[in-house]
Amino acid sequence: MDYSRRVEKLQAILRRQKMDALLVTQPENRRYLSGYTGSDHGIGETSGVLLVPARGGIFLLTDFRYRIQAEQDVPWATVLLYPRGLLLLLPRLLEDLGIRKLAFESHYMLHSTAAMLAQALAKVGITTTPLKGLVEKMRLIKDEAEIDCIRRSVQLNEEVFGEVFPSIQPGQTEIEIALAIETTMRRKGAEQPSFSSIVASADRSALPHAVPGGLPVEKNRPLTIDMGLVLNGYCSDMTRTFVPGRADARYLELHRLVRRAQLAGMQAIRAGVKAGEVDRAARAVIAGAGYGDAFGHALGHGVGLAVHEDPRLSSLNHKQLRAGMVVTVEPGVYIAGWGGIRLENMVVVREEGCENLNSDTTWLDL
Amino acid sequence: MDYSRRVEKLQAILRRQKMDALLVTQPENRRYLSGYTGSDHGIGETSGVLLVPARGGIFLLTDFRYRIQAEQDVPWATVLLYPRGLLLLLPRLLEDLGIRKLAFESHYMLHSTAAMLAQALAKVGITTTPLKGLVEKMRLIKDEAEIDCIRRSVQLNEEVFGEVFPSIQPGQTEIEIALAIETTMRRKGAEQPSFSSIVASADRSALPHAVPGGLPVEKNRPLTIDMGLVLNGYCSDMTRTFVPGRADARYLELHRLVRRAQLAGMQAIRAGVKAGEVDRAARAVIAGAGYGDAFGHALGHGVGLAVHEDPRLSSLNHKQLRAGMVVTVEPGVYIAGWGGIRLENMVVVREEGCENLNSDTTWLDL
């Protein structure tokens, strides 16, 4: 990955915005700009923050526990340790660098932290300015090296599904299947799942975000598996619904309906189309069959270093899609007491259409 | 768990602070007060927020995806959905409830979210007040039902270690062992690991937060395993270091040193002692042997619904320990190029001492 080009691009933006530096706290932004793989224990316990001055080299500020990892991952940054916390190190460092106006990522800094930071820096005459989504905006458009990482993540995810699928039997618990999926991911070299796998049988498949439990997979009822992994930092995300045993006529009708909606969504995607239009194209298919109320979430979301990122394929998003964006297309119908069907692929937005990163197999099309 | 007693206690605090309600966004606080098990995709994508008015019933505000889970988990709350986001639902709801002064958890709300919330509520004459750690303070002291949950979490964690330990062989990769640990956790009924297991061999054991990799476990070199799981919401956290093969004299000396430091720390714990004193008691043992610089982190941290919570056993923490707190005691020495040794137990602070939740086995004492 070409980290120096990314940093230079950000530095040009900072100079245009009359900022002297940006403090990067968002973990995927930190990785995008530097390659640092440190993982945080939630927002309250960071493994380090990146200081990007508007000119010159970058700094990775971390604590004792992450020193060796930081130095190994980011030899192109100056690694500094804060033995007594960032708020004691930062004022002096910024003064030394002549930084008077510090921007921070207001969408990834706690309200309380921002208040303490502003107070500590005000004492030495430095102002803080909340900025939102600066690096995320850069991350929206993936370059071909990134798309290649995502493609490999999707392929590995499909390989995992393909390996686990033949072993799925009614009577197994959802959690056993989730475990088999996550074990296979790790064995095949994934860094980690990109989210907790969803395995939901029968009625429970009507919960879009079901947590796998100790209940058995029911024969002849819908089974939804939503799974993804992280490979070289990049995420995949895929949902398949099928019926262990024999699908009844209603299932077949609804599965075909959801699949038609998915294809309508994919066919609507190309550079220049508004995100909301894509959502509407898929939703119209489901609404046209009288199931509009059963599809209560947006059609899709961006995927990259984060498994959920912009752009959202939501009826509320009026922005145009651009070539190089990577999004999921995942319509669903959810019927309480009966179950749900969701089908999710990942695609790359291209000038003339979209590139499906998943290899749809015919048995899924019934 | 006695959720209604907890809510009433919080409501009394809110009334004393002249607040009309608290918006609970921190996931463990939400679970502590209501039993809601919804899991968030990071701070930016919540599975719901809890509104606790200073008087009357509580509200769980969530979206379509979590409705069924919310209603199942929290039948004692009014579950409301925000189809177009919390910021559209909240002003009307607060007006209906006559709430004029809303407190929010400033340590678990993004700076940008807090700004938007303040703006949306100001329009209807409602003020927002940042509050920090109100519920965390209640969570500091565990009742016996909670301690029992933690004890079972620790026991299951030890069972998992005991099952994986005999199969560990030089030549296996760190990641294979981590996978065996996490698979065994899930098979034995853990909800999930409480953090990504650390398995670090040889030089890599000198990184306190090493990420398991594809490198093999080396014979006759230190191997550190730091692992924990979540059971009924409550976390465990345990570190063991040992030598696959034959430990040399230096290893034995340092292992005994770390163990002596751990025992000194445990012996210093009882209600009324300052947290910093416990850290110093353990640190003195290591410093006395000339390895003070090799122990660069605090002695321990609280554990409960979160795997890292207050109180910190750090030299900087001058607060007194109180009966019912649960903390780790985990001294270590880390020597670049050689490796590291860390030993971590969990204990309950009692009036007259501490209760060790781990069953130390003699082979660990060499």
Closest residue in chain A to residue B213, using alpha carbons only: A191
> Mind telling me how many Å the CA of B73 is from chain A's nearest CA?
13
Q: Give contacts of B47 with chain A, Cβ < 8 Å.
A: 209
Token pair for B108: 């678990």
Integer Cα distance of B23 and B113 in angstroms: 13
What DSSP line would sit under A223-285, residue for residue?
A: EEEEE-EEETTEE--EEEEE-SS---HHHHHHHHHHHHHHHHHHHH--TTSBHHHHHHHHHHH
CB-neighbour burial class of residue B115 (10 A; exposed 0-12, middle 13-18, buried 19+)? middle
> Mind telling me how many Å the CA of A318 is from chain B's nearest CA?
15
| Mutation for A interface: B110, B195, B232, most A CBs within 10 A | B110
The identity of residue B30, as a single letter, is R
Mean pLDDT of B326-334: 98
What DSSP line would sit under B266-307, residue for residue?
A: HHH--TTSBHHHHHHHHHHHHHHTT-GGG--S-SEEE-SSSS
Closest residue in chain B to residue A67, using alpha carbons only: B207
Q: What SS3 state is found at B115?
A: helix
What DSSP line would sit under B168-182, residue for residue?
A: --TTSBHHHHHHHHH
Closest residue in chain A to residue B41, using alpha carbons only: A195
* Omega cis (within 30) before B311: yes
Co-location of B135 and B145 in the same domain: no
| Mutation for B interface: A111, A199, A308, A342, most B CBs within 10 A | A111
Q: Total domain count for chain B? A: 2
For the cut 80, the answer to whether the pLDDT of residue B362 exceeds it is no
The identity of residue B265, as a single letter, is G
pTM beyond 0.90: the answer is no
Mean pLDDT of B231-235: 97
Cβ contact A172:A213 at 8 Å: no
Q: Any idea what DSSP says for residue A307?
A: S
ipTM of the complex: 0.80
Cβ contact A274:A317 at 8 Å: yes
Domain boundary pick from A124, A139, A154: A139
Q: Give contacts of A179 with chain B, Cβ < 8 Å.
A: 183, 186-187
Q: Give contacts of A296 with chain B, Cβ < 8 Å.
A: 64-65, 83
Cβ contact A332:A258 at 8 Å: yes
pLDDT at A83: 81
CB-neighbour burial class of residue B45 (10 A; exposed 0-12, middle 13-18, buried 19+)? exposed
Co-location of B93 and B240 in the same domain: no
> Mind telling me how many Å the CA of B144 is from chain A's nearest CA?
27
Chain centroid to CA B286: how far?
A: 26
Q: How confident is the model at residue B365 (pLDDT cuts 50, 70, 90)?
A: very low
Minimal Cβ distance to B207: which of A69, A112, A211 = A69
**Containing structural domain, residue B226:** 141-365
Q: What SS3 state is found at A122?
A: helix
| Mutation for B interface: A46, A105, A106, A112, most B CBs within 10 A | A112
Q: What SS3 state is found at B3?
A: helix
CB-neighbour burial class of residue B93 (10 A; exposed 0-12, middle 13-18, buried 19+)? middle
Domain boundary pick from A105, A139, A173: A139
Put simply, the answer to whether A109 touches B111 (Cβ < 8 Å) is yes
Integer Cα distance of A229 and A250 in angstroms: 32
Question: Widest CA span of chain A, in angstroms?
Answer: 72
| Mutation for B interface: A104, A110, A179, A231, most B CBs within 10 A | A110
Integer Cα distance of A263 and A281 in angstroms: 9
Q: How confident is the model at residue B65 (pLDDT cuts 50, 70, 90)?
A: confident
> Mind telling me how many Å the CA of A64 is from chain B's nearest CA?
7
Q: What SS3 state is found at B163?
A: helix
Cβ contact A270:A347 at 8 Å: no
Co-location of B234 and B118 in the same domain: no
Q: Work out the number of other CB atoms within 10 angstroms of the CB of residue A365.
A: 11
> Mind telling me how many Å the CA of B109 is from chain A's nearest CA?
6
Co-location of A157 and A214 in the same domain: yes
Looking at per-residue pLDDT, the higher value among B8 and B215 belongs to B8
What confidence tens digit (pLDDT) does each residue in B203-214 have? 999 988 788 888
Long-range Cβ pairs for the range A176-180 (8 Å, 24+)? A177/A212, A177/A217, A177/A225, A178/A212, A178/B186, A179/B183, A179/B186, A179/B187
Q: Work out the number of other CB atoms within 10 angstroms of the CB of residue A167.
A: 11
Co-location of B261 and B308 in the same domain: yes
Closest residue in chain B to residue A197, using alpha carbons only: B192
Mean pLDDT of chain B: 94
pLDDT at B128: 98
Minimal Cβ distance to B111: which of A45, A114, A179 = A114
Co-location of B236 and B95 in the same domain: no
Put simply, the answer to whether B39 touches A107 (Cβ < 8 Å) is no
Integer Cα distance of A178 and A213 in angstroms: 9
Domain boundary pick from A139, A154, A176: A139
Co-location of B207 and B317 in the same domain: yes
Cβ contact B304:B150 at 8 Å: yes
Minimal Cβ distance to B108: which of A45, A110, A316 = A110
Q: Which residues contact A255 (CB under 8 A, 6 or more apart)?
A: A241, A247, A341, A343, A366
Residue-by-residue pLDDT tens, chain A, 366 positions = 889 999 999 999 999 999 999 999 999 999 999 999 998 877 878 999 999 999 999 999 999 888 888 999 999 999 999 988 899 999 999 999 999 999 999 999 999 999 999 999 999 999 999 999 999 999 999 999 999 999 999 999 999 999 999 999 999 999 889 989 998 998 899 999 999 899 999 999 998 878 888 889 999 999 999 999 999 999 999 999 999 999 999 999 999 999 999 999 999 999 999 999 999 999 999 999 999 999 989 999 999 999 999 999 999 999 999 999 999 999 999 999 999 999 999 999 999 999 999 987 645 544
pLDDT at B279: 98
Cβ contact A22:A41 at 8 Å: no
Q: Which residues contact B119 (CB under 8 A, 6 or more apart)?
A: none
Residue B44: CATH number of its domain: 3.40.350.10
Co-location of A272 and A168 in the same domain: yes
Residue A309: CATH number of its domain: 3.90.230.10
Minimal Cβ distance to A186: which of B179, B209, B297 = B179
Q: Work out the number of other CB atoms within 10 angstroms of the CB of residue A322.
A: 14
pLDDT at A361: 60
Mean pLDDT of B200-224: 90
What DSSP line would sit under A165-212, residue for residue?
A: GGG--TTSBHHHHHHHHHHHHHHTT-SEESSPPEEEEGGGGGSTTPPP
Co-location of A183 and A107 in the same domain: no
Helices (H), chain B: 3-16, 27-34, 67-73, 86-97, 111-122, 134-140, 144-164, 174-187, 249-268, 275-288
Q: List the one residue out of B352, B147, B345, B184 whose CA is nearest residue B269.
A: B352
Put simply, the answer to whether A110 touches B107 (Cβ < 8 Å) is yes
Size of interface A-B (CB pairs under 8 A): 118
Co-location of B299 and B170 in the same domain: yes
Q: Which residues contact B72 (CB under 8 A, 6 or more apart)?
A: none
Mean pLDDT of B268-297: 97
Asked which of A87-96, B179-188, B204-213, B337-346 is least confident by mean pLDDT, the reply is B204-213
What confidence tens digit (pLDDT) does each residue in A278-306 have? 999 999 999 999 999 999 899 999 999 99
Put simply, the answer to whether A45 touches B336 (Cβ < 8 Å) is no
Co-location of A108 and A148 in the same domain: no
Co-location of A8 and A46 in the same domain: yes
